[in-house]
Amino acid sequence: MKGLLLAAASSLLCVGGVTVLFRIVDVPRRAAAMLGTFLATVPLYVAAYALTPADLWLLPGGLVESRGFLGGAFGLFVHAALFFGGWLQVYNLAERGFSLRILIDIDESPGRALSPEEEEAAYGSGRGMGWMLDKRIEGLLSTRLMVERDGRLMATDKGTRAARVFGGLRAFLQIDTPQ
Amino acid sequence: MNPDALGTALGAGAAWTAAAVVGHFMIFHFAHVEHRARTVTLLFALAAFAALWTCLLLDIDRWRAVYGMVVVACSFLLYMPFYYTVAASQSVQLVIEVHAAPHGLSREQIQRRYPVQETLAGRLETLAWAGYIVGVDGRFALTFKGRLVSRPFRATKKLWRLGPGG
């Protein structure tokens, strides 16, 4: 139980740190900044686990772990899952979610309703739908999965490996179209 | 109390998580699955209850038995983003298509492959089917479920000073 409680505290500390960071600094690479904040909380978690008593001054005997290392590793796994599967996904959805952007555009429109044509123009706070595709292409270029040569986009070695892995997984799982 | 109760509970959680992943791959490979996300969620829910059942069967105390479920739940949190990246990421789709084209693709060719109106119409249809939006006089409005998703994310975007996103 000590590992779980410290993981929950570390997770809250992490999201608190991210919030303060995003509010006071203009961060160009936000996902990397979030990862850095998470990594900074890992040694804090380890130190807190090592330096506090097994019962955390409050736990009943039945909830105290006799195998401290395993309890600590379990807490660290929970902390990592809350970050990579929780906070980082909240960020990814808020920053890149196509469906979510549509819902927000409708919610922010004056009449709280949009036709498909209005949504096409309003998408991304008025940037339009064409911007969405450009944003993804620029993302793939900046992560060096693709390069642009003579006006054509080509897969790099890294992109080729990614295409083979993801294409293979899609074929095995019989996924043809995004759902 | 069994001194190795924690190890047994975590092991049960890990084993049933592995079973859920293998089950996912087998089912999707050999059957045509219509509700894909729902199926993966169901597999992990079954794995969580199987972990609990295994622990109780092995006389693990209730608290540690719940830890087995926590392992499955955390694995689910990590697995779903991976699954969605494979299944639905437009960036992944783009890389696959560019790689498949012998001489690459121009931006114009990509734009032709992803016509804006069809992409948007498809997504609006999916959102309506899932109950997030409803069509009223040729326009789409949010349902209660849609507002339930939109509002917290609007607040998060404001709190974290994020851009328009999408």
Which percentage of chain A shows pLDDT scores above 70?
97
pLDDT level of residue B3 (50, 70, 90 thresholds): low
pLDDT level of residue B118 (50, 70, 90 thresholds): confident
Whether B1 shows a pLDDT value over 70: the answer reads: no
On the CB side of B66, how many CA atoms lie within 13 Å of its CA?
5
ipTM for the predicted complex comes to 0.80
In whole angstroms, what is the distance from residue B105 CA to residue B103 CA?
Answer: 7
pLDDT of residue B130: 86
pLDDT in tens, A66-86: 788 888 999 999 999 999 999
pLDDT of residue A64: 82
Instruction: Read off the tokens for B60.
Output: 């693990």
> CA of B74 to nearest chain A CA: how many angstroms apart?
5
DSSP letters for A13-59: HHHHHHHHHHHHS--SSHHHHHHHHHHHHHHHHHHHHHHS-TTTTT-
pLDDT of residue A20: 94
Question: HEC profile for chain B?
Answer: CCCCHHHHHHHHHHHHHHHHHHHHHHHHHHCCCCCHHHHHHHHHHHHHHHHHHHHHHCCCCHHHHHHHHHHHHHHHHHHHHHHHHHHHCHHHHHHHHHHHCCCCEEHHHHHHHCCHHHHHHHHHHHHHHCCCEEEECCEEEECHHHHHHHHHHHHHHHHCCCCCCC
pLDDT level of residue A146 (50, 70, 90 thresholds): very high
Instruction: Please state, as a whole number, how many other Cβ atoms lie within 10 Å of the Cβ of residue A138.
Output: 10
pLDDT of residue B116: 80
pLDDT level of residue A143 (50, 70, 90 thresholds): confident
> Which residue type sits at A1?
M
Mutation target for B interface from A104, A141, A150: give the one with most B CBs within 10 A: A104
How far from B154 is each of A54, A107, B149, B151, B163, CA to CA, in Å?
41, 9, 9, 5, 11
In whole angstroms, what is the distance from residue B90 CA to residue B113 CA?
Answer: 12
CB spacing of A129 vs B119 below 8 angstroms: yes
> B166 contacts in A (CB within 8 Å)?
96-98, 100-102, 123-124, 132, 135
Averaged pLDDT score across all residues of chain A: 88
In whole angstroms, what is the distance from residue B26 CA to residue B36 CA?
Answer: 13
Tokens 């740190």 appear where? A17
Closest C-alpha to A157, from B106, B99, B94: B99
pLDDT of residue B71: 95
pLDDT in tens, A30-49: 889 999 999 999 999 999 99
pLDDT in tens, B119-147: 888 889 889 998 999 988 889 999 999 99
Q: Residue A31: phi, psi to the nearest 5? A: -60, -40
Instruction: Read off the tokens for A110.
Output: 């004056």
Among B81, B95, B142, the residue with its CB nearest the CB of A145 is B95
pLDDT in tens, B12-33: 999 999 999 999 999 999 988 8
Closest C-alpha to A129, from A140, A117, A141, A138: A117
pLDDT in tens, A147-173: 998 889 999 999 999 999 999 999 898
Whether B166 shows a pLDDT value over 70: the answer reads: no
Whether B159 shows a pLDDT value over 80: the answer reads: yes
CB spacing of B75 vs A81 below 8 angstroms: yes
pLDDT level of residue A179 (50, 70, 90 thresholds): very low
The H-or-E segment that residue A149 falls in is strand A146-149
Would you kindly state where each structural domain of chain B is located, as residue ranges? 5-91, 115-166
CB spacing of B160 vs A130 below 8 angstroms: no
Closest C-alpha to B129, from B38, B49, B9: B38
pLDDT in tens, A110-133: 888 888 888 888 787 677 777 888
Is residue A140 packed enough to be buried (19+ CB in 10 Å), middle (13-18) or exposed (0-12)? buried
Would you kindly state where each structural domain of chain A is located, as residue ranges? 2-96, 99-142, 146-179
> CA of A9 to nearest chain B CA: how many angstroms apart?
16
pLDDT of residue B85: 86
Instruction: Average the pLDDT over B33-47 and give the result.
Output: 91
The H-or-E segment that residue A144 falls in is none
Interface of A with B in 75-94 (CB under 8 A): 77-78, 80-82, 84-86, 88-94
> A74 contacts in B (CB within 8 Å)?
6, 10, 67, 71
CB spacing of A119 vs B80 below 8 angstroms: no
In whole angstroms, what is the distance from residue B75 CA to residue A82 CA?
Answer: 10
Put simply, whether A161 touches B (Cβ < 8 Å) is: no
Tokens 């059942």 appear where? B53
Instruction: Average the pLDDT over A14-43 and give the result.
Output: 92
> B157 contacts in A (CB within 8 Å)?
94, 104
Among B70, B98, B150, the residue with its CB nearest the CB of A103 is B150
> A94 contacts in B (CB within 8 Å)?
153, 156-157, 160, 162, 165
